[in-house]
């Protein structure tokens, strides 16, 4: 298994998945010790809100990007396409931030009193949320499995460092915990972008290619993921 490139990449990836699960346990261990039951429940609701609503804010760009990244034939083409995909994902992120801010009022009114005010505070940072899926798609499509595996670990690893520092200097409330989570995600995205070295020139032609792929392929995958996510959620 370890003699083949595919075997080594698979081993690294599944090891990262396992370590990411362990880091998740550490994160929740820190938070359950630092927050009361109600605060932890609010934090868990906000994370679930991000995960559920974030499922709709891709529009097929990430799966289309993954497929297109597998077709690039040069480093220059890779950099241009990565830049175009990240630009589109950043635009989607801005839409997501607006949705989080607007949706926060409905959350307070109908679902979870108290979570809405936190969502309004962190809404600008929520713009990074859709970018994480794009980083994974670019890495997977271009077969950069080491980067993908490292990226899986970075957000929670950074979050743990932030939470330990915050716990040592004062109390951790819901607002601080959610902000730290998004900052950890943003830092990991920034590191990954630095490694990918995207180029943001010639975006028009690249975006046209991406949009064509979204219509022909990405949109179907996007709708399938939504249906699967909804059905899985209902099963739970």
Instruction: Tell me if residue 160 falls in helix, strand or coil.
Output: helix
Average pLDDT, the chain: 90
Query: 218: closest CA among 104, 59, 91?
Result: 59
- Residue range 65-115, pLDDT digits in tens: 999 999 998 999 999 999 999 999 999 999 999 999 999 998 888 877 788
Share of the chain above pLDDT 70, in %: 94
- Counted domains in the chain: 1
Task: Look up the domain containing 219 and give its range.
Answer: 5-235
pLDDT of 168 above 90: no
pLDDT of 152 above 80: yes
pLDDT of residue 150: 92
pLDDT of residue 145: 87
Contacts of residue 59, Cβ cutoff 8 Å, sequence gap at least 6 = 92, 214, 218, 219, 222
Q: What is the mean pLDDT of residues 155-170?
A: 92
pLDDT of residue 134: 95
Q: How far apart are CA 29 and CA 31, in angstroms?
A: 6
- Residue range 37-60, pLDDT digits in tens: 989 999 999 999 999 999 899 899
pLDDT of residue 119: 95
At 235, is the pLDDT very low, low, confident or very high (cuts 50, 70, 90)? very low
- The answer to whether 52 and 100 have CB atoms below 8 angstroms apart is no
Sign of CA dihedral 161, 164, 165, 166: positive
- DSSP characters for 41-54? HHHHHHHHHHHHHH
At 202, is the pLDDT very low, low, confident or very high (cuts 50, 70, 90)? confident
pLDDT of residue 6: 65
| Angle between helical axes of 145-169 and 5-34 (0-180°, round to 10) | 20
pLDDT of residue 171: 82
């Amino acid at each position: 298994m370890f003699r083949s490139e595919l075997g080594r990449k698979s081993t690294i990836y599944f090891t990262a998945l396992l370590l990411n699960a362990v880091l998740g346990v550490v994160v929740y261990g820190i938070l359950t010790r630092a927050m009361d039951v109600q605060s932890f429940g609010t934090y868990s609701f906000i994370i679930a809100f991000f995960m559920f609503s974030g499922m709709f804010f891709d529009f097929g760009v990430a799966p289309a990007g993954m497929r297109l990244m597998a077709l690039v034939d040069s480093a220059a083409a890779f950099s241009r396409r990565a830049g175009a995909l990240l630009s589109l994902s950043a635009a989607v992120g801005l839409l997501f931030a607006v949705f989080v801010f607007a949706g926060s009022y409905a959350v307070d009114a109908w679902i979870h009193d108290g979570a809405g005010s936190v969502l309004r505070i962190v809404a600008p940072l929520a713009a990074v949320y859709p970018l994480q899926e794009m980083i994974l798609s670019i890495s997977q499509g271009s077969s950069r499995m080491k980067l993908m595996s490292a990226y899986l670990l970075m957000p929670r690893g950074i979050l743990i460092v932030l939470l330990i520092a915050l716990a040592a200097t004062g109390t951790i409330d819901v607002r601080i915990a959610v902000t730290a989570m998004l900052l950890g995600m943003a830092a990991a995205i920034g590191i990954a972008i630095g490694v990918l070295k995207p180029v943001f020139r010639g975006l028009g032609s690249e975006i046209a290619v991406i949009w064509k792929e979204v219509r022909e392929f990405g949109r179907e995958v996007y709708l399938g993921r939504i249906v699967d996510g909804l059905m899985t959620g209902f099963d739970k």
